[in-house]
Structure 1
Amino acid sequence: MLDLDDPQSVERAAAEVIALTDNRLYGLFNNAGYGVYGPLNTISRQQMEQQFSANFFGAHQLTMLLLPAMTPHGEGRIVMTSSVMGLIASPGRGAYAASKYALEAWSDALRMELRHSGIQVSLIEPGPIRTRFTDNVNQTQSDKPVENPGIAARFTLGRRRWWKKCAMLLPAINQSCAIRSPWSPTRWRCLSACCLPARWTKLSTAELKRGMPPPCKTEID
C-alpha cells in the first residue's frame, strides 16, 4: 500500500509502476490526501508537516519519480486533485488550504516547465462531496475523526450529483483546454474572490462563519 507520508513507500510504489508499465507511462492521477482541521493557533508544526507531507511532498516525490517514464513519448497527462480550498481559504481549514494552495502553484509551475514536452498538467478542484474523506480528517486538540459535516453541509454534493459532474468532467480532462476543473457550489465564491474587492470576500467569509460552533468543536458531535 502506498503511503505518501513515507518517502521509501513512495519510492517502492514508483519502481513497481515503472516495472509494470515497462517504463512507458502515459498518465498519472494524484488523488490521495487528507485534512487537518482546526484554528491555526491549535495546529502544531508536526501536524502541519504531516499535512504537507501527505498532500504536497508525497505528490511531488511520486510525480518526479514517474516523470522520466513519461517524457520520452512526447505525450501524457498528469491530473492533480486539488480543492476549492486551494483557491480560497476558510476559518478552521487553514492547514488543509495551505497544502492545496501549494499544490496549485506547484502544478502551474510544472505545467509551464513541461509545455514543450507534450505532457499536460490538469487540476481538479472539488468542493465538499459526500464521501469517506471525513473518515481521514483529524481535528486539532481532540485529534478525533470528523463526524459532523458542520457548515460544509450547505455546499456538499451528494454522490448522485457528483457522478453527473464526473460524466462532464472526464471528457473535459481529455481535452487540452482542461487546465482547471472546479466542481462544487462553492466555485462561485472562488470566482467572486478573483473578481470582486476584498471586502466582498470578507462578507462571504462572515456568512460562512454564521452559526458556526465554537473553535475545535466545529466538526465533532
Structure 2
Amino acid sequence: MRKSILITGCSSGIGRDAAEGLNRRGWRVFASCRKERDCAALRDAGFESPLIDYADPESIRTGLAEVLEATGGTLDALFNNGAYALPGAVEDLPREGLAELFETNVFGVHDLTRLVIPVMRGQGHGRIVNCSSVLGLVPAPWRGAYVASKYAMEGLTDTLRLEMRDTPIKVILIEPGPVTSKIRVNSIPHFERWIDWRGSARAEQYETRLLKRLYDKRGPDRFELLPEAVTEKLWRALEDPSPRARYFVTTPTYVFGTLRHIVPTSWMDWILAKG
C-alpha cells in the first residue's frame, strides 16, 4: 500500500509543489487548502483535497476525518505547511492582527497536530513535519508578526520532538529561506487591513522601504530557490530512517543557522538590520 500524507496550504508554492513531488514518488497525497475553489482545482488535477482552514477548528476536524475515512483510519505523515505573513513595524501591529495571524500560523497547526498524534500512536508509526523558516531562527525588520509565529512554531516543535522520543512518532522541522511563492503578494491584503502606515512614526520608512518591496514588480530575491528545493528536503525528512531534527533550505538559512550560535548579538543585529 502507498504511504499517505496530509499536506496543508497546497493552493500554490511550497505546498503545491510538495503535493506534486510526493505524488510522483508514489505517496498518496491529501492536498488540503483553506478555500473550496482551490480544493476544487486540485481535485480537477487528480488530487484528493480536503478543505482545511487552520483558522477554523471545525474544518480541521472534518478535513482530517475525511482523510482518515479514505485511508481506513491511518496516516503516515503530516506536513504542516500553511501560513501567511503580515508585514509592518512591530509598533504598528495591532493585537487583533497578530492574534488572527497566530490562529493560522500557530494555533491551527497545533490543533491539527494534536488530532493526528493519537492516530500515529495507535498505528505504531508516523512523521510530523512542520514548515518553519529562516525567520524562525533569526528576526528581520518589518516581519515581526511572521517571525513571532515561526519562533512559536520552533518552540512547540522542539518540545514535541523531545516528548515524542518514547513513541514511534518522528517530529521534524524544515526551515526554508527565500523560496519562490505568493507569500509576499498574499500578504498585501493583511497589510492593508491592519497596518496604518500613513499614521505611523515610520511613514517615511514605509514609503522608501516596505511599500516598494510589497508593491513593486521585481525579480527573484538573492539566493531564492524554487519550491522543488523544499520538496526534496521534505522527501528526505519522510524517507530517512533516522531523520534529522532540522533540514535547512537555501544559503541564508545555512548561514544564519550557524552565525546565530557564534556571533555576538550586537553583530547579528547589525547584519540583520541591513535586510
> Which TM-score applies when normalising by structure 2?
0.68
| Whole-angstrom distance in 1 between the partners of 2:174 and 2:60 | 22
Provide the C-alpha distance between the structure 2 equivalents of 1:204 and 1:93, rounded to a whole number of angstroms: 16
1:29 and 1:79 in contact (8 A); partners too: yes
The aligned residue for residue 194 of structure 1 is: 261
Change (3 A) 1:33 1:164: closer
Contact 2:89 2:141 in 1 (8 A): yes
Cα contact 1:18–1:66 (8 A) shared by 2: no
The Cα shift of 1:12 comes to 1.3
1:211 is aligned to: none
Match of 1:154 in 2: 222
Using the alignment, how far apart are the partners of 2:75 and 2:217 within structure 1? Answer: 38
Provide the residue aligned with 2:153 in structure 1.
103
CA contact (8 A) 2:54 2:103 kept: yes
Residue 141 of structure 1 corresponds to which residue in structure 2?
Answer: 196
Q: Matched residues in 2 for 1:170 and 1:192: separation?
A: 27
Which residue of the partner structure matches residue 102 of structure 2?
Answer: 52
3-state secondary structure, aligned to 2:257: helix
Distance 2:89 2:165 in 1: 39
In structure 1, distance between residues paired with 2:237 and 2:80:
17
Aligned length: 204
Please show how residues 1-221 of structure 1 align to structure 2 within 5 Å.
1-137=51-187, 138-139=190-191, 140-141=195-196, 146-148=214-216, 153-157=221-225, 159=226, 162-164=227-229, 166-167=231-232, 170-175=235-240, 176-187=242-253, 188-208=255-275
Amino acid aligned to 1:193:
R
Runs of 4+ residues over 3 Å off in structure 1: 144-150, 164-169
Q: Structure 1 vs Structure 2: percent identity of aligned residues?
A: 35
> CA–CA distance in 1 between the matches of 2:217 and 2:133?
16
Gaps of 5+ in 1: 209-221
Structure 1 residues 13, 169: closer, same or farther in 2, change over 3 A? closer
Please state which structure has a larger fraction of its residues in helix: 2
Contact kept in structure 1, 2:132 and 2:175, CA below 8 Å: yes
Measure the CA separation in 2 of the matches of 1:186 and 1:147: 24
Q: CA RMSD in A?
A: 2.4
Counterparts in 2 of 1:186 and 1:207: CA distance versus 1, 3 Å: same
